[in-house]
Amino acid sequence: MPSRHRRRLNYLVPASLLLLALPARAEPVEENVLVTASRVQEDALKMPLSWSTVNAATLALVDPVHINEIMQRVPGAWISRGNGQESIIALRSPVLTGSGSCGAFFSAADGISLRAPGFCNVNQLFDANFEQAGRIEVIRGPATALYGSSAMHGVINIISAAPTEQLDSLLSLEGGPYDYYRAKYRYSDTIGRHGISVSANATTDGGYKDDSGYDQQKAIVRHDYSGQRWHIQTVLDSANLKQDTAGYIAGYKAYRDGDLSKSNPNPDAYRDAWSVRLYSAASLALDDNNTLTVTPYLRANDMEFLQHFLAWQPVEKNAHDSLGLRTTVNTDTSTLHWVNGIDLEYTDATLKETQDEAFGPNQPVGVHYDYQVDASVAALYSQLRTQFASPWEFDAGVRFEYTNYDYHNRTDDGAPCGPDASACRFYRPADREDDFSDWSFNTGVSYSLTEDHIVYLRYAHGFRAPQAAELYRLQSGQESADLDSEKIDNVELGLRGYWQRSTRYDVAVYYMNKDDVIFQDADRQNVSGAQTNHYGAELSVDFLLSEQWSLGLDANYASHTYDNHIELLGSDGDIKGNDIDTSPRAFGSARLGWDFSTLAGRDSRAELEWVYMDSYYLEPENEHQYNGHSLLNLRLTSALTRRWSAGLRLTNLLDVEYAERADYGFGEYRYFVGQPRGAYVQVSYQFGG
């Protein structure tokens, strides 16, 4: 096993190189505008909170095929890419796996969770139209009181594009390797008090690996109405995915074997998923200082997939429909900004798992699980931020949230196995009801060193209620799961600001401790009681070298370790102090940008990006490791005429053999393989504007 000293050298050298090779944009640094913290647009420079944004111009340049390509610009964020559009989130955390691990992150579109509380999916970001977003905002660490369960490690908020003041209509066509094709269309305009924007895209991908690929469609329709008293924003958001999934390839460094890297050991694997969200946010100015916003919303999700990562290959089908209502009162005076609100949501969810082919007596053919859950969530919250005419600014919030699950088993209670089973893998608990009451709170203070430089200190306590799958999808004879809500405490110190409006920097150091962490023990029982420690430093810098050249850096150093002795599945219980698996100490990206508009005669940009991933352990015992990788990507975009433009993206420029994600399970190394060098060509036509 490599020594800690060697690992330290492994990440210090690349981190030092990142600092020497900052990246950026050849344009002035943008203002600090944020809506995610309080759901209204505000200047966030002085906010005692770790946050990041990705604007529409950056999204257009990167033109991501997968959301991990754009999230590399957020320090502390790693969206680990699976096959096709699959992913797992790490945000100021390890890559968390398991049936409820995705509950540690609040993934949202316009502030509304992509999945219902208690029914997350690790791949849920593929439901969001990040490709055509107006911007992406991220809160790192426990969020404000406006977000409850799931906002433990942070918030990823995909914000829809607002209607433009003038007609804007754009069609783009794109082609890439392995029969990859994508079409995108945007229409936007404002007439009188009504603004409308339509964003739609359709993608087909033949897949780098055998028997893989996907077809995906996404669409957003947004209508904004600005009346004398009422302002109403209505959004219909939908996504559909049909994917032939390639599973892990097995064997030590198998991603370096040319033939094996293209193979698919699970040619029958698939994932079919669709989602729809509809909301209407109606705001009314009650007086000069108070605004009432009422937001009813609907959510529907449906997904079916083959669990190719299990040897017996069961099929899971899950779905849920939700009805929610958010009511907030925003108070703005010369000295404070105060948000008070109530969140209500009801969800009807189902899950069914079946197995078609015989595997063994402990994994029988037929229905493994079939249950329905009625879930209700109600929350009260208050978040206050001062706006004194002084260098000091204070921020504090508190939230109380109540969660209730009413579970109904739709099969026979107990184990589904026959008399020949020695240790039946599955157990269906009897009908029951569970409820959880949780508090979160936060407080922070910032101090303006000068007009453009602030330092802040923040403490936040967050939580997540157990997910339904952790409570009712039990194994190995566990008749009931007596679980507590996970809790996290976060302390952080930050420094951010500008130098002459050409350099933006943001530095944060943090320490977090999690308690009552839910895990699967050596007997495959879902239990609470694990403790973990997390500390790290995050750095983001944008530097305008000249009118043409720019530099930028987003880097992260972190340690995520087990903090108590537990009998975790796959360990001997002596793992206190070990790294949590899939938690690299360092990762980030650096970018060199060139605006060659003067040379080309029209708007033209180029960017060379370096992406670095440190080594990381693959299991709790820290006996198996992935060595990490470095990648180069090149992007160019240029206007050809007033209406025509084109772009070229070269990914994995040096054709590095690497793994998007490494794992160790069932006694062998397993990998999702990174694609070799690829070229993507895009042509766009502007109809209006």
Are the CB atoms for 223 and 212 separated by under 8 Å? no
Q: What integer pLDDT is reported at residue 258 of this predicted model?
A: 87
Laid out side by side, the sheet with 249-250 consists of: 249-250, 668-673, 659-665
pLDDT at 215: 98
For the chain, which residues score pLDDT lower than 50?
A: 1-29
Q: Given this model, what pLDDT does residue 176 score?
A: 97
CATH number at residue 210: 2.40.170.20
Sequence-distant (≥ 6) Cβ neighbours of residue 284 within 8 angstroms: 229, 230, 231, 291, 292, 293
3-state SS track over 250-293:
ECCCHHHCHHHHHCCCCCCCEEEEEEEEEEEEEEEECCCCEEEE
- Report the domain count for the chain: 1
Contacts by 236-239, CB closer than 8 A, 24 or more apart = 236/276, 236/277, 236/278, 237/109, 237/110, 237/129, 237/160, 237/276, 237/277, 237/278, 238/274, 238/275, 238/276, 238/277, 239/126, 239/127, 239/128, 239/129, 239/273, 239/274, 239/275
Gap between the Cα atoms of 590 and 607, Å rounded: 10
**Of 636, 643, 651, 642, which Cα lies nearest the Cα of 682?**
636
pLDDT at 93: 96
The whole-model pTM stands at 0.94
Phi, psi dihedral angles at 149 (to 5 degrees): -55, 135
- 375 and 393 Cβ atoms separated by less than 8 Å: no
Element housing 16 (H / E):
helix 4-20
Say which residues have a Cβ less than 8 Å from residue 186's Cβ, sequence separation at least 6. Answer: 132, 161, 168, 169, 170, 197, 198, 199, 200
Kindly give the pairing relationship between strand 154-159 and strand 106-109. parallel
Query: Domain residues for 191?
Result: 4-686
Task: Give DSSP secondary structure letters for 622-641.
Answer: ---EE--EEEEEEEEEEE-S
Instruction: Determine the pLDDT at residue 81.
Output: 94
